[in-house]
Amino acid sequence: KLGLSVKKDDNFGEWYSEVVVNGEMIEYYDISGCYILRPWTMSIWEVMQAFFDAEIKKMNIKNCYFPLFVSPGVLQREKDHIEGFAPEVAWVTKSGNSDLDVPIAIRPTSETVMYPYYSKWIRGHRDLPLKLNQWCNVVRWEFSNPTPFIRSREFLWQEGHTAFASKTEADAEVLEILELYRRVYEEFLAVPVIKGQKSELEKFAGGLYTTSVEAFIPNSGRGIQGATSHCLGQNFAKMFEINFEDDKGEKAMVWQNSWAYSTRTIGVMVMVHGDDKGLVLPPKVAALQIIVTPVPYKDANTQAILDTCAATVSTLNAAGFRAEADLRDNYSPGWKYSHWEMKGVPLRLEIGPKDLEKKQVRAVRRDNFAKTDIAIDGLVEKVKEMLDDIQQSLFNSAKLKRDACVVVAKTWGEFAEALGQKKLILAPWCNEEEVEKDVKARTKGDMGAAKSLCSPFDQPELPEDTLCFASGKPAKKWTYWGRSY
């Protein structure tokens, strides 16, 4: 396993697919758009899952599991927005040699699977709020260029589906969940995101409004939806007759939300932090935070070096860190350095004869390659400090880089120029759907059209006479635009 054959800034697509394979996160599979998630990926997924699962349990949201298979009649219940998605529904049509009388769909999302039972279970206001989540896989047979983690035909996610007696409760939960998504990205993956609302054109067609956390990939100049939290209003309640007798004895429809994040989060993290030596993992999610490597020297006391490595690992593990020693004697120190750098391990501790003598270790950071000699005495404290600093500085540098990509555009000319420079564009918009469609039409091309990404909750000042960048009409709000995944 030598180094990468391309540089991140020279051939981003090729760099990405090599990094996820050489970093032992992904193995390509013989079915297009499907990928093997190796342990190095699953450990990252599990760290995020542990955090998010604990947080939703504090909100009294319960986990459940609904079937993978959807009967066709039920899937078509929500026909208005389904027809747009019909081509990506995967169907089971046979078992063994015999055809099924009725083909069965594989869930692309679970609204139509779950809501007939919400209707059955919700009778009176005492049955509310009903708040369920499931950790599962979904299948969408997409045809646009598949990319590990970012766009695959099967992916892992959580999908939350909640029902309330009032809109107020639903509105509050939408934002509570969105804040958890921000924390997943910013506190665990060290990726900056923008919280905002989707336009009418970009929102989930079956819902009332959509909020999202939007990330940005500087190398490709593309925005990417990081996670999404919808208020569904009473649309699904109407369709699936999910109503209840309220405390005044009146019949009322429930107010619902649905929200999800997926393994796409991991792809975003790789794209943002990776470098030309491979993965760069934020310590919070790294399966291995510290790798200890012996640097044996011809006549030095090799056994003492190996013993010190092992002892250092037990000390660090006892202190709650995820540390291992690479004591394999069939690989050189140099080989080990590039191997663990490729896998993105945040911190390496080298122990050679000199270090043994001085009762110290040589610490090497993965993010900036800084080398520091640390006394074995007080090692745990120093390692904690370094890992915290790596986590914070990964976020800080990603935020600086993302902010440097943001351009404010007030006219079409400025917008088009910024788009050509692969920027993330913040522009005043009249909020008219026709104008948004026009922007898409005018920017169509082999790089894909520009689209609205979100209108940030954190709105900059909008002076009275500000005009829309695209229509020249009075602007209503600031909105982020760009090409996207």
Ligand X SMILES: O=C1CCCN[C@@H]1CCCn1cnc2cc(F)c(Cl)cc2c1=O
Which residues form the interface with ligand X (CB under 6 A)?
Answer: 82, 85, 88-89, 108-109, 111, 140, 159, 204, 228, 230, 258-260
Return the number of other C-beta atoms located less than 10 Å from residue 86's C-beta: 10
Return the number of other C-beta atoms located less than 10 Å from residue 120's C-beta: 11
Minimum CB distance to ligand X smaller for 133 or for 455: 133
Distance (Å, rounded) from C-alpha 212 to C-alpha 229?
A: 6
Return the number of other C-beta atoms located less than 10 Å from residue 49's C-beta: 16
Distance (Å, rounded) from C-alpha 6 to C-alpha 154?
A: 28
Q: Are 322 and 43 in contact (CB under 8 A)?
A: no
Distance (Å, rounded) from C-alpha 263 to C-alpha 286?
A: 15
Minimum CB distance to ligand X smaller for 65 or for 378: 65
Minimum CB distance to ligand X smaller for 20 or for 174: 174
CB 77 to ligand X: min, Å:
10
CB 109 to ligand X: min, Å:
4
CB 65 to ligand X: min, Å:
15
SS3 39: helix
Distance (Å, rounded) from C-alpha 481 to C-alpha 216?
A: 11
Query: Could you tell me the two tokens for 234?
Result: 């009473």
Cα 451 from chain centroid (whole Å): 20
CB 91 to ligand X: min, Å:
11
CB 54 to ligand X: min, Å:
20
CB 113 to ligand X: min, Å:
10
Query: Left (φ > 0), alpha (ψ -120 to 50) or beta: where does 360 sit?
Result: beta
Minimum CB distance to ligand X smaller for 230 or for 343: 230
Minimum CB distance to ligand X smaller for 40 or for 259: 259
DSSP letters for 214-244: EEEETTTTEEEEEEEEEEEETHHHHHHT-EE
CB 81 to ligand X: min, Å:
6
CB 224 to ligand X: min, Å:
14
Please state the length of the chain.
485
Minimum CB distance to ligand X smaller for 236 or for 340: 236
Minimum CB distance to ligand X smaller for 227 or for 379: 227
CB 110 to ligand X: min, Å:
7
Minimum CB distance to ligand X smaller for 70 or for 419: 70
CB 214 to ligand X: min, Å:
14
Q: What are phi and psi of 471, to 5 degrees?
A: -110, -15
Name the one residue in this structure whose structure tokens are 């005492």: 126
| Per-residue DSSP letter, 147 | B
Please name the residues in contact with 79: beta carbons below 8 A apart, sequence gap of 6 or more: none
From the list 442, 452, 440, the residue with the least C-alpha distance to 476 is 452
Minimum CB distance to ligand X smaller for 51 or for 85: 85
| CA torsion through residues 175, 179, 184, 186, sign | positive
| Start-to-end CA span in the chain (Å) | 30
CB 441 to ligand X: min, Å:
23
AA letter at 289:
Q
CB 107 to ligand X: min, Å:
9
Please name the residues in contact with 72: beta carbons below 8 A apart, sequence gap of 6 or more: 102, 103, 104, 105
Distance (Å, rounded) from C-alpha 482 to C-alpha 233?
A: 28
CB 49 to ligand X: min, Å:
16
Minimum CB distance to ligand X smaller for 59 or for 252: 59
SS3 155: strand
Q: What is the largest CA-CA distance in the chain?
A: 88
Minimum CB distance to ligand X smaller for 140 or for 284: 140
Please name the residues in contact with 156: beta carbons below 8 A apart, sequence gap of 6 or more: 37, 45, 135, 136, 137, 262, 263
Minimum CB distance to ligand X smaller for 212 or for 431: 212
| Per-residue DSSP letter, 187 | I
Minimum CB distance to ligand X smaller for 53 or for 324: 53
